[in-house]
Amino acid sequence: MPSPLPVTGTLPESWRVRLPIFEGPLDLLLHLIRVNEVEITDIPVALICDQFHEYLNLMEVLNLDVAGDYIYMAAYLIHLKSKMLLPRPRTLEGKEIDEDPRQDLVERLLEYQRLKDAAQVLAEVDSVRRGMLVRRGDEMQRISADEEPALDLSELSLFDLLRSFREVLDRWEKEHPEPMHLTAEVYSVRQQIERLLARLRLGRPYDLIDDLRALSCRAEAIAAFLAVLEMARMLLIRLHQTEQGAVLLYRTDRELLASELEAVQG
């Protein structure tokens, strides 16, 4: 996806993070394959490509030190996505060539997964060997009785952490939408004078109350009322109230000078 929570790319340079557990773009691809519960041999390229770019954008927003390998993989995925959209090449007999553009990426991921699994096994063996201590039987029983139940702490990768943070940002943005800035309409007395003069006709009454009620808002009604007072002061109209309470405007034969209109305040 700051000031408030939704981070932007304006973090200070001193906040740039370099994480050694960030092993590379193939790790991120394996993470996305696991999260989407798809097979390595049948990668939905369009979906994985879009999600890869979302992670890449989030890394840049957080000022993570993104290696060039990620940029290359992002470009490669876009290229692969475009190849998947193109029609397959055909043989001279008109049959499609059974060539999967994903094959090279699949082989790289499978090989990387095998190496990663082997490294994990070796790391676990080494960890067990370093933790082996010889104790007497009675001491082992005492330790077993005193130990609290072990907590099952699943390994959390950086990609899992980024995903959780992205969900926090998305939720924050939904619960705290950006304020809507409305530009207030400005209604000048001068404009209202011009509007009323365009509607008034000699010898014909004009209902002021109906005019004010038809206006768009309170501010425009106030400007129109002030315009009526100015027009009456300049002898451009006469005001008359009927027995029913209606306020009628009558246009006089006096012409409005341009200098008078420019002198109107507001």
CATH number of the domain where residue 246 is located:
1.10.10
Quick one: DSSP state of residue 245? S
> Shortest CA distance to 261 belongs to which of 224, 220, 223, 231?
231
Tokens encoding 183: 């530009």
Tokens encoding 123: 């790391």
> Bigger pLDDT: 56 or 107?
107
Do 243 and 120 sit in the same domain of this protein?
no
> Bigger pLDDT: 37 or 153?
37
Q: Number of structural domains, the chain?
A: 2
Tokens encoding 226: 């002030």
Do 164 and 32 sit in the same domain of this protein?
yes
Please state the rounded mean pLDDT for residues 174-196: 80
Spatial contact of 106 and 98, defined as CB atoms under 8 Å apart: no
Q: What's the pLDDT at 242?
A: 82
Q: Is residue 19 part of a domain?
A: yes
* Three-state SS at 169: helix
> Shortest CA distance to 201 belongs to which of 241, 154, 249?
249
Q: Is residue 209 part of a domain?
A: yes
Q: What's the pLDDT at 221?
A: 87
pTM confidence score: 0.44
With a cut of 70, say whether residue 29 has pLDDT above it.
yes
Q: How confident is the model at residue 16 (pLDDT cuts 50, 70, 90)?
A: very low
Question: Cα–Cα distance between 197 and 237 in angstroms, integer?
Answer: 9
Do 120 and 241 sit in the same domain of this protein?
no
Structural domain of residue 43, as residue ranges?
13-90+97-132+156-175
> Bigger pLDDT: 92 or 204?
204
Q: Is residue 182 part of a domain?
A: no
Do 28 and 160 sit in the same domain of this protein?
yes
Q: What's the pLDDT at 198?
A: 92
Percent with pLDDT over 70 in the chain: 67
Tokens encoding 5: 């929570």
With a cut of 60, say whether residue 137 has pLDDT above it.
no
Percent with pLDDT over 90 in the chain: 7
Cross-strand bridge partners of residue 240 = 248
